[in-house]
Amino acid sequence: MTQQQLTIEEMTERLHERAEEAFILSSIITRRNLAHAFFSLTAHTQSTAAEILPVDSTYGGPDNTTPAIATLDVKMDFCDWMSLETADREFRERMSQFDGYVQTLDRIIDAGKPIVVSDKDSAA
């Protein structure tokens, strides 16, 4: 069975929908104090950046900062020069990045317990 080819607009819409899902899950995690789940959407570059850190993370500069459990950095639009085939490949790669990140967010919520530095390796 072949899949119907999405338009650039449809791909962009689906990426934004996935970003909304990641934002909502990040908000739930932060509200429940399960981890520090940061999420940013930058309008002028149409990109997202997100990271998850343990609840007892330190933020003391480059030499004294807790490493992230997971990170995400995805462009949400497509260049004008891209063919539909190239855009489709990019779309699938970007959705795959979102899928992995959202799965991590889901696992944290399902576990229901705060992630601390000493057990962060088992969270990802």
Work out whether the CA dihedral 59, 19, 22, 98 comes out positive or negative.
negative
The tokens describing 68, both together, are 């992230």
Structure-block tokens of residue 86: 């190239």
- Pairing state between β 70-75 and 47-53: antiparallel
What pLDDT tens digit does each residue of the chain (124 aa) get?
Answer: 456 889 999 999 999 999 999 999 999 999 999 999 999 999 888 899 999 999 998 887 777 788 899 999 999 988 888 899 999 999 999 999 999 999 999 999 999 999 999 875 555 5
Are 104 and 25 contacting, i.e. CB atoms less than 8 angstroms apart?
no
The encoded tokens of residue 53 equal: 């850190």
